[in-house]
Structure 1
Amino acid sequence: MAYTSIVIPATRDWKHTLLQRFGDESHFVLLDSNADVSLGIDYTWIAAGGCLKEFTPTDKPLHSLRASRKEHPGWWFGRLSYDLKNQIEKLHSNNDDAFEWTEVRFFLAGWVMTSQNGELTLHLHHDFGDFNHWKGLLSGWKARPRISQPVRLTPQMDREAYINQAKSLLQHIHRGDIYEINFCQQFKAEGVEMDAVAVYSDLVDVASPPMAAFWHANNEWAISMSPERYLKKRGNRLISQPIKGTAKRSSDEREDQQLAFDLRSSSKEQAENVMILDLVRNDLSRVAERSSVEVTELFGIYSFKTVHQMISTVEANLDAKSDMWDAIGASFPMGSMTGAPKVSAMKLIETHENHKRGLYSGAIGYIKPNEDFDFNVVIRTILHDSDKKVVTVSVGSALTSLADPASEWEECNIKLEALEKVLARGSSAGHSD
């Protein structure tokens, strides 16, 4: 094995320490369940850094990543941007691109720390150095106070334009061109110098979602408060958990229970959920053993810190002739962020949205040395390019035949609210252990 594993005593708040110490390094990732294991998450959290090699192929990226993986096995961390669809499905995107990031980016980690069942384990790649080398990176270091200045977001599509475009999409739905579509809008700020570690620390205290991610690779920063899993592989088992259906939490216990019950009982939310569920089943069937695709949970209600979510779970056994890259190629982008039928929905997304989604609607996650992996859906996420000094936040909602454009506009603003508030007030973090 290329890694040596060492059990680390819980003598400090390691998650916080690693984020504070390495968050500004050229490559650092923190994937955090916030101690919520309800989605079948294997690790309470994973942190990784010490980039040994980076992979950013632009031509046939999944094919290139497959070849690179054979040459450089190990712990990989990375992201898939929504516009990878253009190479998977031979589509195109001509809309404005705020960042111009590559469609995929992965790196081979020199060190990885995992928290699992109360045990901390440090995995050190032989090319990175030994434990003393790693300890030396923390020697004499103290957390510093961090302050991120307020950021004011500007919508890239006003209410009138949004409603007109939503009405146009509804015409396509009523004609039978599509059944459902995820229609998104982007909010943007320019001239921004942001301390992403401070913003992440502030946001994660507010939301505590089960698929949170902090991603930093050179000029790229992502602060993701995602509750949604895109795809997980454990052995030959594939697991996807699309979300369709959201309700705000209430501080009143009885009202909160009623909100969850109403969400579970909503025929509109169930209809949206099952449409995407069928799409995911179809995607996985392309790489699954015959008759192995199954819905293991339908319309499950999961209560997180700020919202209730309706989540269904689809599982399948990966066919022996297919590998992890085939599974991603068959199912990406995730149906919950496109609509159905998928290709038709993506074509209409291109003509009705006025921006490239980039990493929004994409995925962030890890690949273990044994090829198991887990990726989130990049939603409820702040994206930042520190070279361009640009911040974007995108939000969307699912349109079906029952949708009211004005209500969908309001739903988008509700989803934006928590992220916008944290950005607008500024953030601070940092202390010694």
Structure 2
Amino acid sequence: MRIESFDLLDSKDKFHQKALHWSGQFDEISFFNSNGMSDQWGKFEQILAVKALFSFRANENVFDQLDAFLRLHQSQFIPGFLSYDLKNEIEELQTTGKDQLEFPEAYFFVPAITLRWMAGQVHIEAEDPVKIYQAISDTQIPAITPISVQVQSRWTKGEYVKAFENVQAHIQRGDIYEVNLCQEFFADDADISPMEVYHRLNTISPTPFSSFFKVGYHFIMSASPERFLAKRQGKLISQPIKGTAKRGANPTEDQQIIADMLRSKKEIAENVMIVDLVRNDLTRSALPGTVEATRLFEIQSFEQVHQMISTITCMQDPEVANVDVFRNTFPAGSMTGAPKIAAMQICDQLEARKRGIYAGSIGYFDTVHDEFDFNVVIRSLLYNKQKRYLSFHTGGAVTNQAAADQEYQECLLKASGILEALDASLGE
């Protein structure tokens, strides 16, 4: 394998479009795009990895097998994903919801070809980097084709309200403080070009943890704004999102909305509960006394929404393996509620479908530098091309102060970018 660097003759965006379309020939594709929003812990602008030399796929005993796979493949960049339902392996939980997407619970691969975009250049690692660069440069971006998808909601508004009220009854009984209640939107007999839909989604809703993933006939098109967990030089970083508001019509209105979010007792309370949960989760992997909330209640603004984000860090205990860090923290607390196990049990009882990859995580292990970076799979489309089944979920925090209609509208707001990318309205 050789690494060579090339100046980008096309614009960065055009070259990555060409590269994505070129990559369509392979059964395994992983593309991460920071959309120019990379923070101090980000390592690249964009990275594309294709064609598995070695792969890991598992539906049971996942963490032990993944640990063995990572130890076997040292000095590698290894992208992949983890399903939310790995919670069942970590705790005594079970998922009863129907699964029509049929993704594996976990998948990772060692790529034959890797492209990294940095500072106006693309760095290609492959057996013949020049050949790869030329092939991508010669790739023609296909014409845009119309999309015809009829998206439906798994729940009526009345069914959502009933589940919401059930959660609040649990809160009032003292069973839990907060639950992230989610609902599915889906399309049967959906015929789409996943790459084209991803490009549209990323154009409509650019985010720092955007990703496109293909394994066989399974596709993930993600516009995630949330980091689940990263490791940089022995430091663990988690950045949960809890708190959402619609963008204003102009900068003045945006500033007023942000000010209202920062004064909102409800939004602050939701965020604090999840910060405490994440701090508790990280403690199990941390050197004593190093867990701290370094930034609280930061507002980050995206195309459709403002988000309240906090940052929690710690130094990893060197006696705790990287895979065990995930075992100690997975799934993301922002997607469960608090207390975590009780909240997940209630979600299993109430939600109509298996979450699967939604609320799980996509990212990579860098075994060269002993680092990793994973997102939270939200604002993301999942697609089984063989079954022509398309699905996405949205959710929000239910607390004692929450109002059913407001939370339902927040679910629709979070769905808006995906619906626009599909050129779809919501059917009954």
Same fold (TM over 0.5): yes
Matched residue, 2:302: 304
Q: Which amino acid aligns with 2:31?
A: L
Task: Give the CA deviation at 1:92.
Answer: 0.8
Aligned counterpart, 1:414 = 413
Deviation at 1:135, TM superposition (A): 4.2
Letter matched to residue 65 of structure 1 = L
Which of the numbers 98, 101, 104 marks the counterpart of 1:99? 101
Q: Which secondary structure state, in structure 2, belongs to the residue aligned with residue 95 of structure 1? A: coil
Q: Deviations over 1:15-41 (max 9, x none)?
A: 222112114531111111110124642
Tell me the distance in 2 between the aligned counterparts of 1:405 and 1:26: 42
Shift of 1:140: 4.8
Tell me how far 1:171 sits from its aligned partner. 0.7
Task: Judge which range, 244-253 or 338-347, deviates more.
Answer: 244-253
Letter of the structure 2 residue corresponding to residue 16 of structure 1:
Q
Asked if the contact 2:217/2:384 (under 8 Å) is kept, the reply is yes
Return the alpha-carbon distance in structure 1 between the equivalents of residues 363 and 232 of structure 2.
14
Q: Is the Cα contact below 8 Å between 2:208 and 2:225 reproduced in 1?
A: yes
**Partners of 1:192 and 1:61 in 2: how far apart?**
31
**CA-to-partner distance for each residue in 1:264-306, whole Å, 9 max, x for gaps?**
2211101000100000000000010000101110101112233
| 8 A contact 2:18–2:139 mirrored in 1 | no
Deviates more, 1:193-202 or 1:148-157: 148-157
Deviates further, 98-107 or 148-157: 148-157
Correspondence 1:317-332 to 2 at 5 A: 317-332=315-330
Q: Which residue of 2 aligns with 1:22?
A: 23
Find the aligned partners of 1:380 and 1:400 in 2 and give their Cα distance: 22
Stretch moving more, 393-402 or 23-32: 23-32
Q: CA RMSD in A?
A: 1.7
For 1:118 and 1:134, how far apart are their aligned partners in 2? 18
Question: Superposed, which structure 2 residues align to 1:18-417 within 5 Å?
Answer: 18-23=19-24, 25-38=26-39, 40-73=41-74, 74-124=76-126, 129-135=127-133, 137-138=135-136, 140-368=138-366, 369-417=368-416
- Summarize the Cα distance change of 1:243–1:24 in structure 2 as closer, same or farther, 3 Å threshold: farther
Decide whether aligned partners of structure 1 residues 425 and 416 sit closer, same or farther in structure 2, where only a CA change above 3 A counts. closer
Q: CA deviation at 1:9?
A: 1.2
How many pairs were matched up?
A: 420
State the Cα distance separating 1:114 from its structure 2 match: 1.5
Seen in structure 2, the aligned counterparts of structure 1 residues 297 and 69 have a Cα distance that, compared at 3 Å, is: same
Structure 2 counterpart SS, 1:150: coil
Structure-1 separation of matches of 2:304 and 2:96: 36
Match in the other structure for 1:431: none
Assess if the C-alpha contact under 8 Å between 2:87 and 2:330 holds in 1: yes
Tell me: CA distance 1:140–1:46, structure 2 relative to 1, closer, same or farther (3 Å).
Answer: closer
Q: Match for 1:384: what amino acid?
A: Y
Q: 1:148–1:194: 8 Å Cα contact kept in structure 2?
A: no
Indicate conservation of the 8 Å contact 2:266/2:402, yes or no.
no
Select between 255-264 and 176-185 the one with higher mean Cα deviation: 255-264
Amino acid at match of 2:415: L
> Given residue 208 of structure 1, which amino acid in structure 2 is its aligned partner?
P
| Cα deviation, residue 255, structure 1 | 0.9
User: 1:430 corresponds to which residue?
Assistant: none
CA distance in 2, matches of 1:412, 1:194: 24
Q: Which runs of 5+ in 2 are unaligned?
A: none
Cα separation, 2, equivalents of 1:304 and 1:285? 31
Is the contact between residue 152 and residue 424 of structure 1 (CA under 8 Å) also seen in structure 2? Answer: no
Amino acid paired to 2:161: I
Whole-angstrom CA distance in 1 between matches of 2:242 and 2:53: 38
TM-score, reference length from structure 2 = 0.94
Query: Structure 1: which 5+ runs fail to align?
Result: 427-433
Segment of structure 1 superposing worse, 185-194 or 247-256 = 247-256
Q: Distance in 1 between matches of 2:131 and 2:122?
A: 18
Distance 1:319 1:22, change over 3 A: same
Q: CA deviation at 1:251?
A: 3.6
2:19 touches 2:136 (CA, 8 Å); kept in 1?
no
> What letter corresponds to residue 114 of structure 1 in structure 2?
R
Task: Show CA shifts across 1:128-169 (max 9, x none).
Answer: x23245346447532222425221111111111111111011
| Matched residue SS, 1:344 | helix
- Does the residue aligned with 1:56 lie in a helix, a strand or coil? strand
CA separation of 1:118 and 1:293: change in aligned 2, threshold 3 A: farther
**Preserved CA contact (<8 Å) 1:42 1:116:** no
Identity of aligned residues (%): 36
The code of the aligned residue for 1:104 comes to A
Stretch deviating more after TM superposition (246-255 or 234-243): 246-255
Cα distance, 1:392 vs. partner?
A: 0.5
